[in-house]
Amino acid sequence: MTTRDAPQDKPEHRDVLTYKQVLIKIIRDEETHKMLKDPNYYPIIKILRKGPMTVRELEKAYGKEAAASELYEPKSDKTIYRYLKTLEKADLIVPAGQRVVTGKTATETLFSRTAWVFIFHGEKPAWWKSEKGEQSVRWISILLGRFYNNREPSIKCLQNFIIQFETAKEVEFKKLLATADKKILEHITAGEWYEMKETLDYIEHLNLLLSQPDLLERLRSCFK
């Protein structure tokens, strides 16, 4: 549990935080991904990068986002609260603690993102061994075969390679985030969802290729 004191120009209060957000959360289902792209929900996700906030603080910040962008419209505190509950069910937002104001008995709930960075990866790596996944592997093998004298690969080998690739991509990306300069990451993740997603997708793939340069040789071994 942590506490935060109020700035000197605001009423004296104490924020009692009982939740610590994780570094990265992988989103796999499309419904949750749609929320991250939704112009109603995403401003809340974006605003809470600054830290836990109350509904009233979120309403004010949401209004500023709406004034600065044609993508958003101002929302009432009741609407903000309703959005928060929906995002909470999707495990994107969580009640993170309470704000205690000096001289008042009532407290205000503080809301936080569940993770500092959200990444959409779609299906789980093991999906590649399902019937549909195997069919996708066969189509991939036909296209990649052009780089290996049109040889037919071992489908099982290629399946395992793709699963290992997807798993390693997540592991190495978490390592990168854990050691990256926070100021740079703040700039990278500060934009709209589609901008941030494209940027992080490229970083994630290139990071894996750089951290595991033997990947191409392991892929080539499937086409022997």
DSSP, residue by residue, 72-130: -----HHHHHHHHHHHHHTTSEEEEEEEEETT-S-EEEEEEESEEEEEE--S-GGGGGS
Enter the pTM of the model. Answer: 0.81
* Residue 148, domain extent: 125-223
Please state, rounded to an integer, the average pLDDT across all residues of the chain: 91
Q: How far apart are CA 130 and CA 109, in angstroms?
A: 44
Q: Do 104 and 144 sit in the same domain of this protein?
A: no
Q: Each residue of 18-39: pLDDT tens digit?
A: 999 998 999 999 999 999 999 9
- Long-range CB contacts for residues 148-154, cutoff 8 Å, separation at least 24: 148/220, 148/223, 151/223, 151/224, 152/223, 153/222, 153/223, 154/222
Answer with the one of 100, 120, 140 that is the final residue of a domain: 120
**Which of these ranges, 48-52, 68-72, 76-80, 131-135, has the smallest mean pLDDT?**
68-72
Q: Do 58 and 159 sit in the same domain of this protein?
A: no
Q: Do 83 and 186 sit in the same domain of this protein?
A: no
Answer with the one of 95, 120, 145 that is the final residue of a domain: 120
Answer with the one of 71, 100, 120 that is the final residue of a domain: 120
Cβ proximity of 224 and 212 under 8 Å = no
Give mean pLDDT, residues 39-61.
95
Q: Do 47 and 111 sit in the same domain of this protein?
A: yes
Q: Do 133 and 109 sit in the same domain of this protein?
A: no
Residue 98 has a pLDDT of: 95
Q: Do 98 and 6 sit in the same domain of this protein?
A: yes
Q: Do 101 and 140 sit in the same domain of this protein?
A: no
The kind and range of the H/E element at 34 are helix 30-37
Residue 144 has a pLDDT of: 94
Structural domain count of the chain: 2
Q: Do 96 and 145 sit in the same domain of this protein?
A: no
Q: What six digits make up the tokens of 65?
A: 């986002």
Residue 71 has a pLDDT of: 86
Q: Are strands 107-113 and 13-17 parallel, antiparallel or unpaired?
A: unpaired
Name the strands in the sheet holding 13-17, side by side, starting at the edge strand that comes first in the sequence: 2-5, 13-17, 93-101, 107-113
Q: Do 132 and 50 sit in the same domain of this protein?
A: no
Give mean pLDDT, residues 62-69.
93
Q: Do 105 and 143 sit in the same domain of this protein?
A: no
Q: How far apart are CA 222 and CA 87, in angstroms?
A: 43
Q: Do 98 and 176 sit in the same domain of this protein?
A: no
Give mean pLDDT, residues 111-117.
95
DSSP, residue by residue, 155-222: HHHHHHHHHHHHHHHHHHHHHHHHHS-HHHHHHHTSS-HHHHHHHHHHHHHHHHHHH-TTHHHHHHGG
Q: What CATH number corresponds to the domain at position 36? A: 1.10.10.10
Q: Do 85 and 132 sit in the same domain of this protein?
A: no
Phi, psi of 181 (to 5 degrees): -70, 125
